[in-house]
Amino acid sequence: LLPRLPAGLELDRFEGRACVSLVAFMFYDTRLRGVRIPGHVTFPEINLRFYVRSGERRGVMFIREIVGRRAISTVARSVYNEPYITRRLDASVREHDGRIETAYTLHDQGPHFIGVNAKAPAVLPGEDSAEHWFKEHQWGFGVDRKGKALTYEVRHPKWRVYPDARLHLDLDWTRVYGPEWAMLQDREPVSVVLAEGSKVEVFPKAGRS
């Protein structure tokens, strides 16, 4: 991860360890500067991220972001220099027998599957919990084409999580993310989190539009 850090940032560590997270989620009612783009309002994303800080600002950086909409990938790469690629993605979320079940299928020399199921209803975890550490970040960081750090603010209420989260992962790390990530094949995760989610607002340049 160290070669990916622009000047001014350092790795943020959970219990002394640098971590990466594989995150699958749904965009709903998506707007770009307040405008809905037809055909690009509701869609899934899978991303691989790691955790960084700039002083007291804790945030995330993205290694790869995968969506099924080519226009979104193109805009994100050209305007924001974000590491997006386009692949076919299928996703579903349902409630069954008192549990929330999520399923994401990535078709990339695959298929590859990410599924998490957990008990309903959701609860707010303590601020000293692993769930809180991994899900609550006010800042996002990126790198411009000159290698300098970019900062943006992410605003949302604290997310509740569903207890007893269980992971089903069938993913070829080498095929999807490259040989450097083969070390994660069959590794047990430090934490599995299924968060309820909410409205999210993103403000470029540390809160200035």
Q: For the segment 144-173, what is each residue's pLDDT rounded down to a tens digit?
A: 888 888 899 999 999 999 999 999 999 999
Q: How far is CA 144 from CA 31, 38, 78, in A?
A: 23, 28, 10
Please tell me the predicted confidence (pLDDT) of residue 42: 87
Please tell me the predicted confidence (pLDDT) of residue 144: 86
69-89 residue pLDDT tens: 888 888 888 878 899 999 999
Please tell me the predicted confidence (pLDDT) of residue 37: 67
Please tell me the predicted confidence (pLDDT) of residue 65: 96
Q: What percentage of residues in the chain have a pLDDT greater than 70?
A: 93
The alpha-carbon radius of gyration of the chain (Å, integer) is 17
28-59 residue pLDDT tens: 877 766 666 666 678 999 999 999 999 999 99
